[in-house]
Structures are given as structure tokens and as C-alpha cells.
A and B are shown apart, each in its own frame.
Chain A
Amino acid sequence: MMKTCREATRLMSESQERDLHISEQAGLKLHLAMCTPCRNFSKQLKTLRRITQSYAQGGPEKVDK
């Protein structure tokens, strides 16, 4: 069955804590193939993680202007 965006974003979020099952991965891939906003969300989750890590490593201090 087709996943909703709510469900797809939930799986994308959880994939940052655990490996998704094959069936979850397949359903998610199918959804992402057809849903641009969720593809954007997927990239943004990765960006968010990088940004937060950079923040934890003193990111704001590295810029002076």
C-alpha cells in the first residue's frame, strides 16, 4: 500500500536511529520516487544532522562575520 507523507517522514526520521527493514525501505523508495516534498525532506534531514554536528563542534565560533 502507498505510504503517506506523514509515514514516509516518520521512516526517514527513524532511519537515523536504526536500519530500516527491507520492506520499509522499498515502500519508502517508492514514495520518494513520486513525492518531491518528501525528497526535499530527506535531504534536509541529512543537512540538519550536519548542521547540528557543526554546531556542537563550535560552528558559530568559526565565523567572525
Chain B
Amino acid sequence: MSDQLAPSASATESNPEDSLQNPQFLVDLRQQMLRFASLQLQDTQLAEDAVQEALMGALKNFRSFSGRSALKTWVFAILKNKIADTLRQRQRFVDADLLVRGDREEHDHDELFDQTGHWQKDEKPKRWADPESAIYDKHFWRIFEACLSHLPSRQAQIFMMREFIELESHEICAAVEISVSNLNVTLHRARLRLRECLEDNWFGVEKDR
């Protein structure tokens, strides 16, 4: 990519102007932010506003970023704060749909365990070889995004509130009006599903590399 063509040998990443002059990078980034914000806020307009605000801030200050990942880290931090604020303000307005949908996800990990509560024979978590190197592989990130988007929407929303926005339990419970035990059950399911998906599609697959 253009990174390798950059004249400066000392820069390991694209310089900030490349980041912002590359329309595809911005389009992709915006799309990713929008997907993330929409999932959290369940409201397209609010999501658009939050993304717009975070991006405008970044564009104003773009010279201070050392590369794309610095820029991206920064805009996502802003976006996370913006979403967290919106969610906190909104705690009184319950989305009744979410509660209904939650009920339908009741039995989704029964197939992982047998009647005595032990792992089904072919569902036992295996040892993951070299989990650290996955984050340097763009194919892995595609799998990760696919696994995330295959979670039931409520599980994905709550999982990302916890792990991505790093809200505490009580904040999530207030924002989506669920009990702590409900939250714990949801996170447990989301983690079971995600790890299964990652193992089935990445860590448990023989790769010739």
C-alpha cells in the first residue's frame, strides 16, 4: 500500500496527511464508526451525529496524529465517550423491543453443554495456538467482525458496551434497564458464542502460513 511508497524511511506508518487524503480510508473509518455507534445507540440519527462530531474533531487536529492508527484510536475514544454520555442520559427511556428480543435468546447455549452441565464432546474449547499473532492479520479481523455481527443484536450491544466502551456493570444495567444477573447471563452467552465462533473460524483452523 501507499505506506511502502512514503519517502521517509523513518516512518513505519503512513504520515497523517496520507491518512486523511486517502478517501477510502475515511470512508471505511466512517462506516466502521457508524456501524459501531448504531449498534450501541439503536438510533441512526444519534449515531450519525456522534460519528460526525468525532470525525470533525479529528479533522481539525489531524496534524497532531502520527499515523492512521493514532487517528483511529483518537476518533474511537471520542466516539466512545459520546456514546457513553448519550446512553447515560437516556437511561430512563427503555427500549421495550430489546427486552422482548432478549427473551427469544433464552436457550442459545444449551447446545454447548450436556444435561449434566458439562461440555458436549465436540464443543470443548481447544488450545488456541499463538493467539497473540492474530491481531496482526487482517483476515483475522474480518473473521472477528463477522463473529461479532453474528451475535444476537442485544448480546452484541451489551458485549461492546462492556468490552469496547468499557462501561461498568452498573452503567450498562442503567442504560439498558436490566438487572445485574441479566447482564451477567448476557455477557456469559456472548463470550461463549464469540469464542466458539473464533475457534471454529480461526483458532481451530489449520492455516498454512
Residues of A at the B interface (CB closer than 8 Å) are 4-7, 9-10, 13-14, 16-18, 36-38, 40-41, 43-45, 47-65
Count CB-based A-B contacts (< 8 Å): 115
Q: Nearest Cβ distance between residue A61 and chain B, in whole angstroms?
A: 5
Residues of chain A within 8 A (CB-CB) of B141 are: 55, 59-60, 63
Residues of chain A within 8 A (CB-CB) of B184 are: 10, 13-14, 17
Q: Nearest Cβ distance between residue B80 and chain A, in whole angstroms?
A: 7
Q: Which residue from A10, A17, A48 sits with its C-beta under 8 Å from B194? A: A48
**A57 close to B125 (CB less than 8 A):** no
- A13 to B184 Cα, complex, angstroms: 8
Q: Nearest Cβ distance between residue B60 and chain A, in whole angstroms?
A: 19
- A41 to B118 Cα, complex, angstroms: 13
Closest to B74 in A: A58
Size of the chain B interface, CB-CB below 8 angstroms: 46
Q: Nearest Cβ distance between residue A53 and chain B, in whole angstroms?
A: 7
Using known A-B contacts A4-B117, A5-B117, A10-B184, determine if residue A55 contacts B191 with beta carbons closer than 8 Å. no
Q: Nearest Cβ distance between residue A36 and chain B, in whole angstroms?
A: 8
Using known A-B contacts A56-B80, A57-B76, A58-B69, determine if residue A37 contacts B188 with beta carbons closer than 8 Å. no
Contact sample, A vs B, 30 pairs, CB 8 Å cutoff? A4-B117, A5-B117, A5-B118, A6-B109, A6-B112, A6-B113, A7-B117, A13-B188, A13-B191, A16-B187, A17-B162, A17-B168, A17-B183, A38-B119, A43-B131, A44-B131, A45-B191, A45-B195, A49-B163, A54-B135, A55-B164, A56-B76, A56-B80, A57-B72, A58-B71, A58-B72, A59-B141, A62-B68, A62-B135, A63-B135
